[in-house]
A = this chain, B = another copy of it.
Amino acid sequence: MGIDLKVKIGSLELNSPLILASGTCSLETFAFLKPEETGAVVLKTVTLKPRQGNPPPRLAETPAGLLNTIGLQNPGVEKFLEHEIDLYPSSYKLVGSVGGETIDEYVEVAKKLEASNRFAAIELNVSCPNVNKGGIEFGRDEMLLLELVKEVRGAVSLPLWVKLTPNTSNIEKIALETSRAGADALVVTNTFVGMAVDIETQSSRISTLSGGVSGPAIKPLALYLVYRVAKNRNVAVIGGGGIFNFRDALEFLIVGAQAFFVGTAMLVNPLAAKEIISGLKEWLAGHGFHSIKEIVGTFREPS
């Protein structure tokens, strides 16, 4: 249909605005994607040391949402690079997601990922609500976050994406400062902290007290945060949270995200990414657009 899907995130050109979110895709996912329609695939967050993750149950369904407490299960960066990374098809732009408990850990992991030459960008996961240390603390403690971004920025030359936590009251400020500290793109947003109780046992429905809520339920909240962050036109924004169809994706593009990510939708329907792209193309063509870029930031403020 002749729609130019290409977008630029900082200096990085992507085949499409569609990005597969960290923690919601694995090797099996690629069977349902097309490289020429996929912007990037952010792999599951890796940490310096292996992490076993949290015990089951790790999942609970909430109204139009998914509550998870995976706990960053991963084999550690070394095993990951040794045994796993080569299994991923090279026809896709891969993004390495980094987690950690200290700034040094983040830096070390980021350097190792860069050295593998398999990644198009590094994403800092400073916002995972499901681990005791690290994760969300960085996302909420501004000074720590800025130091983290600066340190990683100094240590690697790949494009640097920072995934923000929604569980804060001043996301604009954090976003602005993070971009000044050297982030090439801000990813908004990670899951919202939530909780679910089994009334029969009076205990958490997941193995931890709280977890992260994703899916359609959070869409209006995430969209508002993306809008606020994207108002600062100096940094690229990758927006998402609850995107399930092309209309949802358009909402995020309209409020100013240059690209969008899809997570939970892929868990519910592995063809979601393909369907979103074909829906986008058809809608844009039907509305006289020629490229994705034309719809980005077209939001009309209420008077």
Contact = CB atoms under 8 A, between A and B. Distances in A.
A115 to B, nearest CB: 36
B220 A194 contact: yes
A216 B63 contact: yes
A181 interface: no
Contacts of A167: 169
A202 interface: yes
A178 interface: no
B224 A300 contact: no
Contact of A197 (B201, B210, B254): B254
Contact of A208 (B192, B195, B302): B302
A227 interface: yes
Count of this chain's copies in the oligomeric assembly? 2
Contact of A199 (B67, B203, B208, B247): B247
Interface residues of A, number: 47
Interface in A46-100: 62-65, 67
A195 B220 contact: yes
7 contacts: A63-B216, A63-B217, A197-B223, A197-B254, A199-B251, A202-B254, A202-B298
B208 A193 contact: no
A24 interface: no
A223 B209 contact: no
